[in-house]
């Protein structure tokens, strides 16, 4: 698959000073390729530099998923410790650029929002969702990998330590009503059509407000969150990504069977 085709898997358009990013792989539940992550980062950089866009809306094509994590088949190329470290470092770069994007960001979530998709949603300023939305990181039953410290920190700030351990340990997905009750989702809409209409309405309202106030508030919250973060993560990443369990989880997932964990 060439680069031009990969870029089309992430669509971007601007209407009325609002940018709309769509993860466009509905046949794969909008699972993210590495090229899609890079394109997302490039859009965030462009928006922050040009100031022509006043708000960003992120969503997934179709009604089944916002984004169902990273495309697992890409992990088959991992051979060395550096592959694992580079993957998480690039993820941190992309998530960091989204989090630091100069304009407010809205995640409009329909269906599954898992793994890397859940990480992206956590970086957005506001999350609204459909009634069928589900959020989580089911890695303890799928791949046997871990999150970066930056992603754990975001979840810690959003959900608190008990809820983070709850959803990671149980590998369950948070249903929409629970997500609203804990402040993860700010609104629940009945279906995808209502979701997209509300996302546009909300983005236009935000875009009409004083941009420096919005930017200062967003950056202040980001700086407070940054002070909570610890970058000591190399040992945790390598423990998981270099394990036999990670290989087993990846192959089991791709072959649609249950993994057999060994803890090594």
Q: What is the domain class of 3-212 according to CATH? A: alpha beta
- Residue 6's pLDDT band, with cuts at 50, 70 and 90, is very low
Question: Does residue 3 surpass a pLDDT of 60?
Answer: no
Give tens-digit pLDDT for 151-200.
999 999 999 999 999 999 999 999 999 999 999 999 999 999 999 999 99
Q: Quick check: 74 pLDDT over 90? A: no
Per-residue DSSP letters for the chain? --HHHHHHTEEEEEETTEEEEEE--GGGTTPBPHHHHHHHHHHHHHHHHH----EEEEEESSSSEEEESB-GGGGGG--SHHHHHHHHHHHHHHHHHHHH-SS-EEEEE-SEEETHHHHHHHHSSEEEEETT-EEE-GGGTTT-----HHHHHHHHHHH-HHHHHHHHHH---EEHHHHHHTTS-SEEESSHHHHHHHHHHHHHHHHTS-HHHHHHHHHHHHHHHHTT-----HHHHHHHHTSHHHHHHHHHHHTTS-------
pLDDT at 226: 82
212-263: per-residue pLDDT in tens?
Answer: 999 999 999 999 888 777 778 899 999 999 999 999 999 999 999 999 999 9
pTM for the structure as a whole: 0.91
* For the chain, domain boundaries: 3-212
Residue range 59-68: average pLDDT?
96
């Amino acid at each position: 698959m060439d680069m031009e085709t990969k870029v089309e898997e992430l669509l971007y358009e601007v209407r009325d000073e609002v940018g709309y990013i769509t993860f466009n792989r509905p046949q794969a539940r909008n699972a993210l390729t590495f090229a899609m992550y890079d394109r997302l980062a490039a859009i965030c950089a462009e928006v922050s530099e040009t100031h022509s866009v006043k708000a960003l809306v992120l969503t997934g094509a179709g009604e089944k998923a916002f984004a169902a994590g990273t495309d697992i088949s890409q992990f088959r190329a991992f051979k060395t410790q550096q592959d694992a470290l580079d993957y998480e470092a690039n993820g941190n770069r992309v998530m960091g650029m989204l989090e630091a994007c100069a304009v407010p960001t809205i995640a409009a979530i329909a269906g599954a929002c898992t793994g890397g998709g859940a990480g992206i949603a956590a970086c957005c300023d506001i999350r609204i969702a459909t009634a069928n939305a589900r959020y989580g990181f089911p890695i303890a039953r799928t791949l046997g990998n871990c999150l970066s410290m930056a992603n754990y920190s975001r979840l810690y700030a959003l959900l608190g330590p008990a809820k983070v351990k709850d959803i990671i340990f149980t590998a369950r997905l948070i249903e929409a009503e629970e997500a609203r009750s804990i402040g993860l989702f700010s609104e629940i809409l009945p279906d995808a059509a209502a979701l997209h209409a509300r996302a546009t309405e909300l983005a236009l309202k935000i875009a009409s407000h004083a941009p420096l106030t919005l930017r200062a508030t967003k950056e202040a919250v980001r700086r407070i969150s940054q002070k909570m973060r610890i970058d000591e993560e190399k040992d945790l990443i390598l423990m998981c990504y270099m394990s036999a369990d990670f290989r087993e989880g990846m192959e089991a997932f791709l072959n649609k069977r249950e993994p057999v964990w060994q803890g090594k």
